[in-house]
A and B are shown apart, each in its own frame.
Chain A
């Protein structure tokens, strides 16, 4: 589903002395099927943006369009349930939302709410369990007996079992060890490709954004600061530094290499291996293949 923000502003407690602009005049477009990374510091409006994607927050001004759904300022939302079944949100620390007696029941909770039939839910559960990297044995266990990483996977399975078309991820790797982080993102990327999802990933990690995203949106104090494809955005070191963001490690490495060896080796979105080959070629005096 296409997602469009049209001059969206959101103000907390408007018309009170505590009024606070969380996002201001945001306009962007996310084409269906793309993987978008939203980057920004704490308080930049990322969480508020996410809440607009499934109608948890309604724009104070402007309009949000998600597929056929329109969220407009001062308009009572219709088909909210349908929208929420189409947009799956994995919040930060999603394991906090587990509550059922068994893992199977917890995963079934979402689809049940959206009126999916029992037999279909069973089927979906048996599909989603291996996809999130869990084994079937845990289905009858209590979610509270699992390890933190497993709990998170169960919670994600609960969101995926609704079979959303848009997947929103709010720092899904927070609090995991480096290996768990990598596995988690690989898993989401798999799901993204396999199910043709439109994915919105909120992250602090430039490396992850560079690796997975087709489009990057950088927020600063509620406003859109930069937007574009990752290579384009992440090569603008000065602009990023201005809002206390860093370029990804690989980009930083290449620019250091250029300074040290006084040779030109721009970042074009190479993987680490490709970069090694490029460096070898440049050091040996050759040019780089365009």
Chain B
């Protein structure tokens, strides 16, 4: 139905990025989000951009997939850029149109902030593009494991996540089906006032909820029938393992941070 948001859209592959332990990927991205804000000059930004672009190339995910994932936020990127150009009044005046001045500082700031956005989205979508949802939930479950000591339901949370991810496509299909059935009964989802259109959603939402609850009940029953009784004592078919590859990538990432700190202007 719509493929605009690629979050959760895994592109199968066999690259280094695909093969990395999901925990490694999540950790790196977690820190990347912070260090993006450390960069403050051309050199430090280039290091970050280089890192992101190299990961993208190594992952061998077709560029059009990544670009498609970026479509929803292009607007945001362009908007921040323009806002900075208009609002920031630092540095020298570069261009003067009537009484309106564009400052060098505004352009630099605009580029820098948009680049931050771009890098953040690029790297996070790279995670979901190269990691199956199951791997991600496994990794999160494993990383949150220490919280079990304070009675945090880690396993249940991970299970909930994987179940909801699993049912996204199913619900999309269901929505498509029901909206077609209701359109055949004369519901018009496309035209009319906002109030009319909001009303038109009711015959879509109610059947959707009904079937979702039914599905949930059936799933719970099927899980119980197969002996599921919570996370206690459950073992995994695929154990996560950190190996030499992951350590190498960690070291590389530390080098990136070091490089960033060195080139960062004070």
**A81 touching B186 by the CB < 8 A rule?**
yes
Chain A positions within 8 Å of B178 at CB level: 96-97
Of B174, B177, B185, the residue contacting A110 (CB under 8 A) is: B185
Most buried by A among B177, B180, B206, B207: B180
Distance in angstroms from B172 CB to nearest chain A CB is 15
Distance in angstroms from A5 CB to nearest chain B CB is 19
Task: For the complex, give the distance between the alpha carbons of A91 and B181 in Å.
Answer: 7
Given contacts A81-B186, A110-B186, A162-B186, contact A99 B207 (CB under 8 A): yes
Task: For the complex, give the distance between the alpha carbons of A214 and B37 in Å.
Answer: 72
**A113 touching B207 by the CB < 8 A rule?**
no
Q: How many residues of B contact A (CB 8 A)?
A: 18
Chain B positions within 8 Å of A84 at CB level: 183-186
- Which B residues from 197 to 211 make CB contacts under 8 A with A? 202-203, 206-207, 210-211
**B202 touching A99 by the CB < 8 A rule?**
yes
**A81 touching B188 by the CB < 8 A rule?**
yes
A96-115 to B contact mask, C-beta < 8 Å, 1/0: 11110000000001101110
Given contacts A51-B180, A91-B177, A97-B178, contact A162 B207 (CB under 8 A): no
Chain A positions within 8 Å of B211 at CB level: 96
**A98 touching B186 by the CB < 8 A rule?**
no
Task: For the complex, give the distance between the alpha carbons of A114 and B183 in Å.
Answer: 11
Given contacts A56-B180, A91-B177, A91-B180, contact A97 B185 (CB under 8 A): yes
Q: How many residues of A contact B (CB 8 A)?
A: 24
Given contacts A56-B180, A91-B177, A91-B181, contact A97 B186 (CB under 8 A): no
Distance in angstroms from B9 CB to nearest chain A CB is 12
Chain A positions within 8 Å of B24 at CB level: none
Task: For the complex, give the distance between the alpha carbons of A51 and B188 in Å.
Answer: 16
Q: Output the nearest chain A residue to B210 by Cβ-Cβ distance.
A: A144
Chain A positions within 8 Å of B185 at CB level: 84, 97, 109-110, 113, 158-159, 162
- Which B residues from 175 to 228 make CB contacts under 8 A with A? 177-178, 180-188, 202-203, 206-207, 210-211
- In the complex, whether A199 has a CB less than 8 A from a CB of chain B is no
Task: For the complex, give the distance between the alpha carbons of A110 and B184 in Å.
Answer: 8
Binding site for B on A (CB under 8 A): 51, 54, 56, 81, 84-85, 87-89, 91, 94, 96-99, 109-110, 112-114, 144, 158-159, 162
